[in-house]
Structure 1
Amino acid sequence: MSFMESTRAAGIDPVLAQSFRVSARCGCFMQAARSLNIKSTQLRKHLVQLEAQLQCTLFNHQDSGLALSRDGLALQAQLIALAHERDAPVIEQPLIRLAVAESILHDILGRDLVALLRRNASVRLDIITLDSELALQAVSADVVLWLAGPDSPLPGPSFAVSEPRRLARLEYLPHIAKRYSRVAARPDSLDDLADFLLVQWQHDRQVESFRPWNSVVDQRLAGVVHLHSYELMLEMIRCSACIGLLPRYMSQFDRGLIALPGLFEQPMQRQVWMAANTETQGEGDVQMIVELIHNTFNERREWFDS
């Protein structure tokens, strides 16, 4: 007997019973509402209706969350006896594959993806980080967000995609933590960099437009740290008085970091591109991700125009 059938047999509205079952499991209205993909106010209304129908109190409110009352424990036992939770029907959600450049995921898109998951806990999302052109060429996804040169989306994904859309132009500059650099002591020429430890994200060594910076790093016989982790590179700059190459928007993302303009005559730029898989671009969940990415970049437009 399924969960829906068993609750009807017990004379309980299946929707109300499902709200009770998930609330009892989560012990938190907000978490239960996210799991059910409904608003917390609607969930509370369901529970009030169920308590009125059964003429009892099902939950005791505690500082740390919810606890089942004696009647709530009895109802939970009754429902478990009628139908085990594994028999409850589960609707399989389509898997959305999002491939995104590692730095863009960390700096720009991550917070909005977290907000999406908080609003819709039933979504199935496979997030693939791209840390090199080789990874971009090897990936297969429904939506791809990558970095390329200032004039062309190439090299791009190897599978068939929609017309790539340019989302933002990023300018890259050396950065240092404010707390480790007094204004008078900040470098204002390439020669001044000799007094500072440099940190290099290994992925950037393959970027043609970063040649001015990479040449300085490659000439170093000492005082340079090479890292394969983007987050660790940021931590080194924040906490170790290092100078590293970052997008100009980084001072918007982290107020403790400051750009060092004027050290290089040649600009170092990249473009953010997005495209969708031609086979799945019309699906609703894929369009939802595409719209989220567009909104994210539009909301942060001042990051890229400054």
Structure 2
Amino acid sequence: MSLTESTGPQSVADYRPQDAKSESWLALAAGIDVEVVQYFLVSARCGCFMQAARSLNVRPTILRKFLAQLEEQLQRTLFKFKDSSLTLTRDGQQLHARLIALAHERTLPAVEQPLIRLAVAETILHDILGRDLVSLLRRNASVRLDIISIDSDLTLQAISADVAVWLAGTESPVPGPSFSTSKPQPLARLDYKPHIAKRYSRVTSRPETLDDLADFLLVQWQHDRQIESFRPWNALVDQRLAGVVQLHSYELMLEMIRCSACIGLLPQYMGRFDRGLIELPGLFNQPMQRQVWLAVNAESRDEPQVQMIVELIQNTFSERREWFEG
């Protein structure tokens, strides 16, 4: 299959087998499509088709198809596997040198990726979006992404971003971003309950009333002290004269609940995120809830890369909708 077929990038010079008799095959380098040149050079640099595909943001099968077409058109084998590594053959090395020389004569256009700024509430980034963002980066190594962790309302007000995901009241997205955005979209309502590690809590000794908590160490993330809807929990912590740990790190709070027999306030979905944790229902009569909100910068909301991030976030919450159901 030649590069001039409709299934792939078009070459600026058609190759015919009989032409090889009258000119060196390397002379054809000037006629290779710019996109295919990039495929070849990146593959040679990475020494791995998978990594090259990630860097180029294409599927590995597409990358290998066009490289195979290039080998067929040049009638040369360009790559080989040696000791489980991808290397250039002698012909591949000659083509690589010729293309590098041509690159000095004519600047090959570089595709600059726009910088996308994503601001996410720290807990949502850690518990819900983190894994899918890692998967995105595994598929697309050329993305330019600035991830901003929102650990307080002040941070949310101070930053500027293309996409913002934050926690606020169940009825209103205020306080929200200070920059101009699209209408905030509710993604999920979160219920919060005290949690403890299963390993430290047998069913027969599990606390069922607030008085039962007297024998347990409580741990509190400092950010939660300012949340109005967490007043029942915060009042309990404030009453403590001993047996309380205050932390500024969300991850450390989780680790203390997992490993130190502490009880802390966490979203109700936490048992799905970490099977080793279990909620303690019935301790508080008043519900403690927050809403996850999504908004997009009004100036950049139509950018394809911004839409890609928005779709990833929406799909993540849609796929995990069972996490947020009571």
1:86 Cα deviation after fit = 11
Q: Does 1:230 align with 2:250?
A: yes
AA in 1 matched with 2:80: N
Distance (whole Å) between structure 2 residues aligned to residue 13 and residue 161 of structure 1:
41
Question: Within 5 Å, which residues of 2 pair with 1:16-165?
Answer: 16-62=36-82, 64-83=84-103, 87-165=107-185
AA in 1 matched with 2:177: P
1:210 Cα deviation after fit = 0.8
Q: Which is greater in Rg?
A: 2
Kept in 1, the 8 Å contact 2:29–2:99? The answer is no
1:7–1:37 Cα change, 3 Å: farther
Kept in 2, the 8 Å contact 1:146–1:274? The answer is yes
- Return the TM-score normalized by structure 2: 0.85
SS of residue paired to 1:83: helix
1:117 Cα deviation after fit = 2.6
AA in 2 matched with 1:282: D
Q: 1:212 is matched with which residue?
A: 232
Equivalences, count: 302
The structure 2 residue matched to 1:276, chosen from 296, 300, 303, is 296
Kept in 2, the 8 Å contact 1:7–1:14? The answer is no
1:16–1:156 Cα change, 3 Å: closer
Of 28-37 and 72-81, more deviation after overlay is shown by 72-81
Distance (whole Å) between structure 1 residues aligned to residue 105 and residue 291 of structure 2:
49
SS of residue paired to 1:35: helix
1:241–1:51 Cα change, 3 Å: same
1:302 Cα deviation after fit = 0.8
The structure 2 residue matched to 1:186, chosen from 193, 200, 206, is 206
**Structure 1 unmatched ranges of 5 or more:** none
1:84 Cα deviation after fit = 5.6
1:50 Cα deviation after fit = 2.4
Deviations 1:3-62 (CA, angstroms, capped at 9, x unpaired): x9x996545443333222111111221111121121111111122222223433332325
Of 223-232 and 7-16, more deviation after overlay is shown by 7-16
- Return the TM-score normalized by structure 1: 0.90
1:252–1:84 Cα change, 3 Å: farther
Kept in 2, the 8 Å contact 1:8–1:14? The answer is no
AA in 2 matched with 1:231: E
Moved over 6 A (4+): none
The structure 2 residue matched to 1:173, chosen from 193, 211, 223, is 193
Kept in 2, the 8 Å contact 1:7–1:79? The answer is no
Kept in 2, the 8 Å contact 1:37–1:122? The answer is yes
Deviations 1:60-108 (CA, angstroms, capped at 9, x unpaired): 3256442333333333333334436995421222222211111111111
1:219–1:63 Cα change, 3 Å: farther
AA in 2 matched with 1:136: L
Distance (whole Å) between structure 2 residues aligned to residue 28 and residue 85 of structure 1:
28
Kept in 1, the 8 Å contact 2:196–2:277? The answer is yes
Of 113-122 and 152-161, more deviation after overlay is shown by 113-122
Of 194-203 and 167-176, more deviation after overlay is shown by 194-203
AA in 2 matched with 1:43: L
SS of residue paired to 2:135: helix
AA in 2 matched with 1:131: D
Kept in 1, the 8 Å contact 2:194–2:279? The answer is yes
Q: 1:243 is matched with which residue?
A: 263
**Structure 2 unmatched ranges of 5 or more:** 1-11, 13-25
Q: 1:197 is matched with which residue?
A: 217
Identical pairs, percent: 75
Distance (whole Å) between structure 1 residues aligned to residue 210 and residue 176 of structure 2:
33
Of 214-223 and 138-147, more deviation after overlay is shown by 214-223
Across the aligned residues of Structure 1 and Structure 2, the Cα RMSD in angstroms comes to 2.4
SS of residue paired to 2:63: helix
Kept in 2, the 8 Å contact 1:7–1:13? The answer is no
AA in 2 matched with 1:218: D
Kept in 2, the 8 Å contact 1:205–1:214? The answer is yes
Kept in 2, the 8 Å contact 1:238–1:256? The answer is yes
Distance (whole Å) between structure 2 residues aligned to residue 86 and residue 212 of structure 1:
68
Q: 2:306 is matched with which residue?
A: 286
Kept in 1, the 8 Å contact 2:186–2:291? The answer is yes
AA in 1 matched with 2:130: G
Of 86-95 and 220-229, more deviation after overlay is shown by 86-95
Kept in 1, the 8 Å contact 2:77–2:89? The answer is yes
AA in 1 matched with 2:75: Q
